[in-house]
Structure formats: C-alpha cells, structure tokens
Structure 1
Amino acid sequence: MTSPDLDEISAALAGHGLIQRGGFAFDHSNPAPGGPVGKPARSVLLVGQAGAAVWPYFLRWREAQPADLENPLDSWAREVIGDVAREFGAHAVSPSDKPYLPFQQWAMRAEGLRPSPLGILMHPEYGLWHAYRGALLFEAELEFAEVREQNHLCDLCPGKPCLKACPVDAYSEAGFAYERCLEHVRGASGGGCRTQGCLDRNACPYGVAYRYPADVQAFHMKSYAGL
C-alpha cells in the first residue's frame, strides 16, 4: 500500500485552517485502535490548530447550520477532518468519541509536550493557545520526524501567574476545583470570565501572539458553562 503524502495532507488541512500536530507508528506501548477497514491502525497523525486560525472557516460553516445545533465546533471538525480522511484513505477519530481515545497521551508522544498546571499541554511556540481537533488513523506505517525533547516552559516560569489570577482559586497545585470554577463562571461575578476567557489561562506569559480573541474565548466559556 502506498503511504499518503504528508505534504498533500497538510495542504488539504490548511484549507480549513487546520495543521498537522505530529504523529507516530503504534507499537506495544501504544495499543492501536481500528483503522480504515477495522484492522488495528499502524499510524496516527494528529490534527489541530495553532491560535484561532480555524475560526473564520468554522464561522462560515456555522452560518449554514441550524441555530440549535449542539456542539457545533466538534461537528465542524468531524466533518472537515472526515473529508480529509476519506481523501487519503484514513479513518478519522475525534477527542469526543466514546469510548474516549487517549488523545493527550498521543499528543505528548507526537510532539514531546507536557501538561501545564492548568492541564493544557504547554507548547514551546503556541503556549496554551492551541488545540487538537481530531486524528487520522492509517493502515500504512508512516514515517515521522524524530520528536526532540522540548523545553517545558512551565519549568522556566518562576512566578506561575496561571495559578494566581483566578478569583476563586480554581487551579492550584492540588488540581482543578471544577465545581467551584463552574459556579463562578455561571454566577453574577463571573461575567469577565464569560466574555474574556479564563483569567488563569490568559495570565500565562507564553504564546501570547496566538492567544484566542475575546469572542473565541467567550464561545468556549459559554460552551463549558452550558449557557
């Protein structure tokens, strides 16, 4: 079987504001899900975004969809990544598929990243302003560049402002106080978080050139809070 051309896949993804986010061949340490014809896949290529590059593409798609469509961003990503998968003989999977696939573990292996104190993987260029929207599973064993160990910017950040900006201390060394955060975002005092995004995430000094605009952050906060 001829291996797909990664440059051609990149060009197809770029037509939706998406980018390749690294990949690897499955081995005994990473059990493989089913590929295009149901057999265990041999390679995975992660697909995602840097900054808010997908936003104009998503908004154009959204205009043609029902106003009450649930999880529209997930639906958009499934559709466009699914189209690319069919073009290149792959099987598309999503982070929201159930049973859940180990996307974060895949991402750490594919790009050599580690989690920030907020749980979001810290990228050496994008900071916290990136996302994984899906993955392509292939029957062929694709060749990827060797992943070099990345400087973990959180280790170089002495002040940890991401743990100090939240008015209800939702994030701490002890973990994420989900219920406390959600109550605040939904409440009368959480208007700034709803319209400008998570204060802890915005306090991170890295990747600021890729920071999501306020309307994009508001979209995500509204979805998170179920508003």
Structure 2
Amino acid sequence: METSASGICPELVNALSPHGLILRGGFNFGADESVPSVLSGAPAKSALLVGQAGSAPWPHFLRWLETQPAGLKDPLDSWSRQIIGAVAQDFGARAISPSDKPYLPFQQWAMRAEGLRPSPLGILMHPQYGLWHAYRGALLFETELAIPRLEKPIHLCDLCVGKPCLKACPADAHSEAGFAHEACLSHVRGPDGAPCRDDGCLDRNACPYGTEYRYPIDVQAFHMAAFAGI
C-alpha cells in the first residue's frame, strides 16, 4: 500500500471520508511484540487506527440506524464494524474493534500512533480536538507500512492551571486518584442525574479545549444512555 509524504494512504483516507471517519495514525509492530494476527493467520506487521473528530460520523450512523431492527444492541459498534470491515476488505486488511474480546490495548495503540496522553478524565487529550474524538477500530496489515514520522504533540492538560474538568461533577467522579465508576453510574441513573443524562458528562463539557468539536447534545445523550444502560 502506497503512502504519501503528507499522510498515510490517500486512497484509504478517501474510502473512510464518506462515512465521517478518519485515519488516526499508525505504527509498525516490533519483532519481539505479541501481536494479533491478520486474515492469513500471520502476525500483523502494522496497524492503522480509524476514528472520528467531533461528531462527523453521526448523520451517517443515523441514516444506517433507520434501516436496522428496533432495539439493536450496541448499534454504534455494529455500524463501525460494518463500515470499517468493508473498507478493510477492499485494502486486504483485517478490521478489529475496541470492543473485541479479548480486549486489545487500543488506548496504548492510540498513544503510540498519535503521541497523545490521557487527560485527568482518562480520555486522551488531542491538541486540536480536545476531548471530542474517538477511536472506532483499527486495520491490521501483514506488511510494514511507511508511517510518516510522528511529531510529538503538545499536551494541553499541562497548560491548564484550573483543571475545570475535575470540578464540575456533582458526584466527584473524577479526581487525581482516578475515575469513581460506581459513584458516576449511580449519579447518572439517579434522580439528580438528569443534567448528565440529557446534556452529557459535566466534567468533559467543562474542558476549555477543542470546544468547536464538542458533540451535540443528542450525541452526548446517546453515549450517556449507553454508559448507564438506560
């Protein structure tokens, strides 16, 4: 697969674009790494991550969802698998998902591919998109790719003095000690959790970076409902 100086495989970029998806960088596996296999059963030599910036895939996903049976479980995962799987087939790659079991180290791969670091919320902080981005899958290849050299991005959290992302949650779900999952879940499901259910995570929305990519309220409500199982 050919690559250009400006990025990885323009043809692959063009194949993902109609679905609101983008390439999120890639890397070659080391010879001593334990890696998943490709379609032939051989160990993968390289990986390209696929994801989104902002809510670009949302209208494409909604149109697809209208054609699916009511009550489909994990519809966004299903849509992502279908789209990325079809693109992978066209490029001779194996498509994998963050929800595949056994789980693969997608966050570590993302940090490796884009040089990002976690925010205090655990979401990787992107220098342009802030916290408003996601990884929807990866493509595994049997050959090494000419991956453009990665320039280490600035970590915006290092510049943020007030850390408003740690102060907005009424349940104090996020702190320097980590994420209090049960406290968050209980609050979101409870009688006082309507602002979170309707408008999204208050801590995430308090982050001052990448606000132009912030998910619309309906998108945030969808993700909160999936998180809370409601």
Q: TM-score range by the shorter chain?
A: over 0.9
Q: Which moved more, 1:32-41 or 1:80-89?
A: 32-41
Corresponding residue to 2:181 among 173, 178, 187: 178
Counterpart secondary structure, 1:189 = coil
Aligned residue number for residue 61 of structure 1:
64
Letter in 1 for 2:208: P
Question: TM-score, length-normalised on structure 2?
Answer: 0.96
- 1:70 aligns to 2:73 (yes or no): yes
Aligned residue number for residue 41 of structure 2:
38
Question: TM-score, length-normalised on structure 1?
Answer: 0.97
| Percent of paired sites with the same residue | 68
Aligned residue number for residue 115 of structure 2:
112
Residue 226 (structure 1) shift? 0.1
Aligned residue number for residue 128 of structure 1:
131
Letter in 1 for 2:49: L
Residue 31 (structure 1) shift? 2.7
Letter in 2 for 1:181: C
Letter in 2 for 1:184: H
Query: Which runs of 5 or more structure 1 residues have no equivalent in the other structure?
Result: none
Aligned-partner Cα distance in 2 for 1:156–1:30: 34
- 1:81 aligns to 2:81 (yes or no): no
- Do the aligned partners of 1:94 and 1:135 also contact (CA within 8 Å) in 2? yes
Corresponding residue to 1:153 among 151, 156, 160: 156
Aligned-partner Cα distance in 2 for 1:200–1:19: 26
- 1:139 aligns to 2:142 (yes or no): yes
Aligned-partner Cα distance in 2 for 1:77–1:105: 20
Corresponding residue to 1:222 among 207, 222, 225: 225
Q: Which moved more, 1:32-41 or 1:79-88?
A: 32-41
Aligned-partner Cα distance in 1 for 2:27–2:37: 15
| Residue-by-residue CA offset, 1:46-68 (whole Å, 9 max, x unaligned) | 00000000000000000000111
Aligned-partner Cα distance in 1 for 2:61–2:143: 30
Aligned pairs, number:
225
CA RMSD of aligned residues (A): 0.9
| Residue-by-residue CA offset, 1:151-172 (whole Å, 9 max, x unaligned) | 1100110000000000110000
Corresponding residue to 1:194 among 194, 197, 200: 197
Counterpart secondary structure, 1:8 = helix
Q: Which moved more, 1:130-139 or 1:35-44?
A: 35-44
- Do the aligned partners of 1:4 and 1:88 also contact (CA within 8 Å) in 2? no
Corresponding residue to 1:204 among 207, 224, 229: 207
| Residue-by-residue CA offset, 1:19-57 (whole Å, 9 max, x unaligned) | 000001100464321012110011100000000000000
